[in-house]
Structure 1
Amino acid sequence: MLIYDTIRKYSVMFNNPILHPLINVVDLSKSPLLPKTRFMLAFYAVIIKETRCGDIRYGNQYYDYDNGTIVFFGPGQVITHEPEGEMHQPYGTALIFHPDLIRGTSLVKYLHQYSFFSYQTNEALHVSEKERTLIDGCLANIEAEISQNLDKHSRTLIVANIELLLKYCSRFYDRQFYTRENVNRGLIGKFEQLLADYLTGEKLKTKGLPSVAYFADLLHLSPNYFGDLVKKETGKTALEFIQLRLLEVAKERILDHGKSLSEISYELGFRYPQHFTRFFKQKTGVTPIQYRMH
């Protein structure tokens, strides 16, 4: 596995000049032919692939946005490059920047909001012509800054343009969730059924409350993409959605006087009854005993 631990190493591999030790805009078309490889980056990467995907389906619909496919990688992610043949000539542009570049800036504080850095490559962003123009403008500004002599303003302006780029990508992902509404509803429907089966089966008692990652894996989605999808479709986080469904099941069972509250708490996957009491009161404002007595 190749490990790109510096901006220089990645730039040299793709035959690009090194303009700044912590950031570069890399023209991938300058690269030699590449074989199938696995590699890891020690920095952030925003890679715009020059591929038109109008003939590729997503669910039962064709892509409407085919002026670039953008994938995002964070430090430490392992990536597999799989060309169709033995060798492949890449095309596109890669913005790569080291964590040290943004250390101490406002971008560090808000970077976690850009959850698409943890999406899978099949959850890539597809942009329209107008959207691509805005992306290219940000890249051009960054390249212009790192191509000239650095001064006391350089880092501030470079980071500001990275942040602007990420804000645009966040907006475009919101649009993409909206334009794939029918497909997304199907995924939410599958999630609801999987959740219902889990909460009414034996797994809840034996394994406890399921995690967000558990359902993301069943739906073949990354946890972050799945969480963002649920949030945009339901207005609630995936964890909130799971807990609300659990609460509905709990209310039904509490009103069954044939079982003690301790038995019900164990059936719902709580190791100790007091944990169930705390959860229930936090969500409803009353204890299970008070709810049963109403």
Structure 2
Amino acid sequence: MDKIERLHSVTQFNSKRGQVTLHPLVSVLDQSKSSPIKPYRCLSEIYIIFLKDLRCEDFQYGRNTYDYQEETLLFISPGQVFGFDSPEEKLVQPVGWALVFHPDLIKGTSLGKKISEYKFFDYDVAEALHVSESERLIVLDCFRKIREEMERGIDKHSKTLIISNIELFLNYCVRFYDRQFITREPVNKDILTKFESLLKEYFQSELPQDNGIPTVAWCADKLNLSSNYFGDLVKRETGISALEVLQAKVIDLAKEKIFDRSKSISEIAYEMGYKYPQHFTRLFKQRVGMSPQEYRFAN
């Protein structure tokens, strides 16, 4: 299925599922009441959060044994492609719940200013949030409050209360993801070990001279993770950013090379992947407290 539709409005999302639109900029749907839909893929221009059982046919999440087995939250932000393919073109019954809202709903609000801080909107499908039964009930309570506000009709308080409940829901999701990172601690530590090995192998090869210093995005891709998820994982496990971990590794490896006095500091910088040696010297001094040349003669 090559064609990708553009999903530009809440009304379009509701209509495809045969449900009415109570508010033009936000909707909460009980998907069991939706009409069956044909398989399709969409480029979304709105925010979508699905709460659904993994036994549904439309998305594959790759749940692991350390995750809760109840239901899963999947977050989609404007600019992302989502959907599913079916070779038989058969109709599929949507399941679970969906919260959708247009970016215009939160423009100029506190949520609009901080929406980018909810990095899980940019996680991959395999990094979705698996919720416990108690967490699921909290999610549904937030959805219920949003739905009740829409059913009251639009007044001067509607927008504030709807946005407040969306923000409350997203803040709960931050808590739930923190819990999931904890329950995934064994596999997270394995990822950090692989990260360490990846960097070691990279700097033992000719890649630095050809490609320069590896980026966090490159490392995440090699570990089959999204950049945001990888960054959050490293931060939670180490207390520092993935970039800082990467820079620390660069400095540790550079310290070993600096003791080889047959090479100039510039030669070492080029070997490490720096196009401009002064950038290497600046980073080294920031992290070590002295220049590479001073470090060489102080040890």
Verify same fold: TM over 0.5. yes
CA distance in 2, matches of 1:30, 1:2: 23
Which of 22, 37, 41 is matched with 1:38 structurally? Answer: 41
Please show how residues 14-163 of structure 1 align to structure 2 within 5 Å: 14-51=17-54, 58=63, 61=65, 63=67, 65-82=68-85, 86-87=89-90, 88-163=92-167
The Cα shift of 1:84 comes to 8.7
Q: Is the 8 A contact 2:122 2:228 kept in 1?
A: yes
- Aligned to 1:34, what secondary structure does the other structure show? coil
Q: Is the 8 A contact 1:14 1:26 kept in 2?
A: no
User: Who is 1:254 aligned against?
Assistant: 258
The Cα shift of 1:62 comes to 5.4
Which segment drifts farther, 86-95 or 243-252? 86-95
Asked if residue 179 in structure 1 is aligned to residue 169 in structure 2, the reply is no
Q: Is the 8 A contact 1:52 1:68 kept in 2?
A: no
- Aligned to 1:221, what secondary structure does the other structure show? coil
CA distance in 2, matches of 1:253, 1:151: 68
Which segment drifts farther, 283-292 or 39-48? 283-292
- Aligned to 1:35, what secondary structure does the other structure show? coil
The Cα shift of 1:293 comes to 2.0
Which segment drifts farther, 40-49 or 30-39? 30-39
User: Who is 1:265 aligned against?
Assistant: 269
The Cα shift of 1:35 comes to 3.1
The Cα shift of 1:52 comes to 6.0
Q: Return the letter of the residue paired with 1:70.
A: L
Q: Is the 8 A contact 1:16 1:27 kept in 2?
A: no
CA distance in 2, matches of 1:199, 1:165: 43
Structure 2 regions of 5+ residues with no counterpart? none
Q: Return the letter of the residue paired with 1:128.
A: S
- Total equivalences in the alignment: 290
Change (3 A) 1:273 1:235: same
Change (3 A) 1:57 1:275: closer
Q: Is the 8 A contact 1:52 1:67 kept in 2?
A: no
Q: Is the 8 A contact 2:16 2:37 kept in 1?
A: no
Structure 1 regions of 5+ residues with no counterpart? none
Q: Is the 8 A contact 2:66 2:184 kept in 1?
A: no
Which of 163, 166, 172 is matched with 1:168 structurally? Answer: 172
Q: Return the letter of the residue paired with 2:263.
A: K
The Cα shift of 1:118 comes to 0.5
User: Who is 1:278 aligned against?
Assistant: 282
Asked if residue 199 in structure 1 is aligned to residue 180 in structure 2, the reply is no
The Cα shift of 1:86 comes to 4.0
CA distance in 2, matches of 1:85, 1:134: 37
Q: Is the 8 A contact 2:17 2:37 kept in 1?
A: no
Q: Which runs of 4+ in 1 moved over 6 A?
A: none
User: Who is 1:189 aligned against?
Assistant: 193
Structure 1, residues 147-187: CA drift from partner, whole Å, max 9, x if none?
Answer: 11222221111111111100111111111111111122222
Structure 1, residues 174-215: CA drift from partner, whole Å, max 9, x if none?
Answer: 111111111222222111111111122211122111111112
User: Who is 2:236 aligned against?
Assistant: 232
User: Who is 1:3 aligned against?
Assistant: 6
- Aligned to 1:231, what secondary structure does the other structure show? helix
Structure 1, residues 87-107: CA drift from partner, whole Å, max 9, x if none?
Answer: 321201110011111111111
Change (3 A) 1:58 1:29: closer
Which of 240, 244, 249 is matched with 1:245 structurally? Answer: 249
- Aligned to 1:19, what secondary structure does the other structure show? coil
CA distance in 1, matches of 2:62, 2:292: 49
TM-score normalised according to structure 1 size: 0.93
CA distance in 2, matches of 1:108, 1:285: 40
* Identical pairs, percent: 48
CA distance in 2, matches of 1:33, 1:52: 16
Q: Return the letter of the residue paired with 1:267.
A: E
